Amino acid sequence: MGFRKALSILTISAALALVITGCTNDKPAPSSSPTPAAGNSESATNTAEEGGDARLEALGLDSNLKFKETRKITVEVYDRGNDGGTKPEDNFYTQYIKDGMLRDHNVEVTFVPVPRWTEGEVINNLLAGNQAPDVSITYSYPTIQTYANMGGVLDLAPILEENKDLFPDMFDYLTETNIYWDQDPNTGTLWALEARLNVLNRINTFVREDWLKKLGLEAPTTLQEFEDMLIAFRDNASTLLGADADKMIPFSTSFDVGWRADHLTASFVPNDITDKDIYINGFDDRNFLLPNYKEGIRTLNKWYNEGLVWKDFSLYPAGDTTEDNLMKVGYVGAFIHNWDYPYRNGEDSIHASLQRLVGPDAAYVAIEPFANDAGVYKKFLSGPVDRKIFFPATNKEPIASLLYINWISKLEHRIFLQFGEEGVTHEKLPDGSLKTIAATGEKIMNSPANIDYTITSNGLDLGDPELTVKSIANGYAGVDSKYIEIAHKITTNEGRVGKNVNVGEIKAENGQGQALKEKRDTILNKAVVAPVDKFDEVYDSGMKDYLNSGGQAIIDERKAAWEALFGDKTMLD
């Protein structure tokens, strides 16, 4: 029996659901886990009544969408290995979720930690071993597709078709756009839901504002000015660092060159690149295959050989804190990273550490120095999608799992998880916006705005766009809001938002995601540190291997799929 047919039966027959049952727990939520505002029970009851008692009875639900017998599900959560953080699977916020799901749906939730920086590799291994959490997340759709083709992922299409009315908050928040973003146009299968990216903020280029002032420099607005600034940092190390002059790092990056050089490399891509070319060559999420990308890496190679780039950048793996520590003590002049990176993590942020260790004027400020061939500060931005939420075939509780997704999508739950308790981890300002308070102890958030728990949502959303923007600017304890406002403005300025080109499965991508990612990182690391006269040889040989190892097959199949669907069209509406 096919998975689609099996799941259709699953949703209407408790006997075939293979439920995992336990003892009903009716005890109230503890005081440390506040009960969210009331107001959804009536709508849930109405929804249930509209769906029909017989269907709810078959699913084991009462009229309030609460299971009559306790169901159990496991949910993936990223482990970021934060110094001073809490256990990602067991803390104040996980307890809030557990208590709420047990209270509202009689579902017992267990969180399963997965290392954030190696999540692609780990989720592969968990799927291969039939041990993936019931509610799994990943940034790698090819990984999902690979295991779906082997029967290892549930098709959500028939379940949602028959039970859409049970999940009103999920549909209201994600909308059908995100829910069906990945639906195969040929087969109708739906292997994953796309989380909502509320703010398209992605990358920024940062520079030490106090160093610019000390050397009498203006913030660079061109590539040449940026390079001249790095040279000035290098040549004035004694002025800027005194006895620590030998520790000067004009520009820092990491082993993930593709991410960390994004604004630089994007500036080398022709401004008139078509949607077709972006789709065909854009399967790598670092834009590695876009035209002229190589020249951006050549620039980084030149800087490295001139002593302008941290010489040890490639030695430290994902999650290592060495580079952050070098920034915190004041040795790094500039870098490219996540749009708000220096301001994250409260008292442990790069910004706060700089001001403690170096002085009150020490700070990183976002700048915009990399224009493309048309003079445009082009940024390649994501579509309104983020992590992919999917259920492995070992999930025997798809309805309970979808009720979890629905619960986590409710506005009051998202706001609580993003901001915590009023007067403890945030305050409400007179204009209605919220301002975070640096948390300590059990109420520390391990990820920005707890995005590891608000898995359908990345980025603040208070249900009011104006209050949301104000709250974003307020949301960095101890950081002057001007830095956030500058960073927020620059990161999407002149951006090109990604479009959903859904042509169906690209079979050549199956099983290639992690392998090609690792090859890409290796190529870029080797190319940056190569002698200038060896750069082309190193880069070109690495690219040849990448293409021969599956990259070219993906390009060819994507090109054929585009032309089959869109013909000669090169731009989408």
**What was the pLDDT predicted at 22?**
32
**What was the pLDDT predicted at 83?**
82
The Cα–Cα gap between 416 and 97 comes to 10
Higher pLDDT, 45 or 289: 289
The Cα–Cα gap between 382 and 545 comes to 28
Weakest-pLDDT range from 21-30, 73-82, 182-191, 485-494: 21-30
46 — alpha (psi -120 to 50), left (phi > 0) or beta?
A: alpha
| 267 — pLDDT class (breaks 50, 70, 90) | very high
**Percent over 70 (pLDDT), the chain:** 91
**What was the pLDDT predicted at 117?**
86
Hey, is 383 helix, strand or coil? coil
Residue 295 · residue 288 · CB < 8 Å: no
Residue 28 has pLDDT above 50, yes or no: no
The Cα–Cα gap between 194 and 407 comes to 16
The Cα–Cα gap between 508 and 128 comes to 19
Question: What average pLDDT does range 61-68 have in this prediction?
Answer: 97
Question: What average pLDDT does range 119-130 have in this prediction?
Answer: 93
Question: Hey, which residues does 206 pair with through a beta bridge?
Answer: 335, 366
The Cα–Cα gap between 260 and 340 comes to 13
Residue 318 has pLDDT above 90, yes or no: no
Residue 351 has pLDDT above 60, yes or no: yes
CATH of 203-381+499-566, one of 3.40.50.2300, 3.90.1150.10, 3.40.190.10, 3.40.50.1820: 3.40.190.10
Q: Which amino acid is at 395?
A: N
pLDDT tens per residue across span 413-449: 999 999 999 999 999 999 999 988 878 789 999 998 9
| 52 — pLDDT class (breaks 50, 70, 90) | low
Domain ranges across the chain: 3-200+385-419, 203-381+499-566
pLDDT tens per residue across span 220-254: 999 999 999 999 999 999 999 999 999 999 999 99
Task: Report how far apart the first and last C-alpha atoms of the chain are (Å, whole number).
Answer: 40
Question: What average pLDDT does range 35-46 have in this prediction?
Answer: 43
| 405 — pLDDT class (breaks 50, 70, 90) | very high
The Cα–Cα gap between 45 and 63 comes to 6
Question: What average pLDDT does range 56-75 have in this prediction?
Answer: 97
- Strand order across the beta sheet in which 193-197 lies: 136-138, 385-390, 193-197, 457-458
Q: Is the dihedral of CA 52, 58, 59, 64 positive or negative?
A: positive
| 347 — pLDDT class (breaks 50, 70, 90) | confident
Written as six digits, the tokens of 450 are: 């707890």
Cβ-based neighbour number of residue 156 at 10 Å = 24
Longest dimension (CA), the chain: 78
Written as six digits, the tokens of 114 are: 């997965």
573 Cβ contact partners less than 8 Å away, ≥ 6 residues apart:
none
Question: Hey, which residues does 204 pair with through a beta bridge?
Answer: 337
Task: Give yes or no on whether 3-200+385-419 and 203-381+499-566 have one common fold.
Answer: yes
Reported pTM: 0.73
**Percent over 90 (pLDDT), the chain:** 79
Nearest to 336 by CA among 426, 427, 278, 254: 254
Hey, is 305 helix, strand or coil? helix
The Cα–Cα gap between 301 and 299 comes to 5
Cβ-based neighbour number of residue 129 at 10 Å = 9
Q: Kindly report the average pLDDT of the chain as a whole number.
A: 90
**What was the pLDDT predicted at 547?**
97
Question: What average pLDDT does range 283-312 have in this prediction?
Answer: 97
The Cα–Cα gap between 488 and 490 comes to 6
pLDDT tens per residue across span 446-463: 998 999 999 999 988 999
**What was the pLDDT predicted at 458?**
93
The Cα–Cα gap between 197 and 459 comes to 6
Residue 161, phi then psi, degrees to nearest 5 = -60, -40
**What was the pLDDT predicted at 420?**
93
Q: Which amino acid is at 233?
A: F
Hey, is 78 helix, strand or coil? strand
**What was the pLDDT predicted at 472?**
85
440 Cβ contact partners less than 8 Å away, ≥ 6 residues apart:
none
Q: Which amino acid is at 119?
A: E
| 4 — pLDDT class (breaks 50, 70, 90) | very low
**What was the pLDDT predicted at 45?**
46
Residue 542 · residue 519 · CB < 8 Å: yes
Higher pLDDT, 179 or 449: 179
Residue 214 · residue 237 · CB < 8 Å: no
The Cα–Cα gap between 281 and 284 comes to 7
**What was the pLDDT predicted at 46?**
52
CA–CA distance from 219 to each of 27, 194, 337, 561 (Å)? 59, 38, 18, 45
Residue 2 has pLDDT above 80, yes or no: no
Residue 393 has pLDDT above 70, yes or no: yes
pLDDT tens per residue across span 128-143: 999 999 999 999 898 9
| 6 — pLDDT class (breaks 50, 70, 90) | very low
Q: Is the dihedral of CA 225, 231, 236, 237 positive or negative?
A: positive
Hey, is 458 helix, strand or coil? strand
Residue range 3-200+385-419, CATH number: 3.40.190.10
| 62 — pLDDT class (breaks 50, 70, 90) | very high
Q: Which helix (H) or strand (E) holds 555?
A: helix 552-566
The Cα–Cα gap between 181 and 520 comes to 27
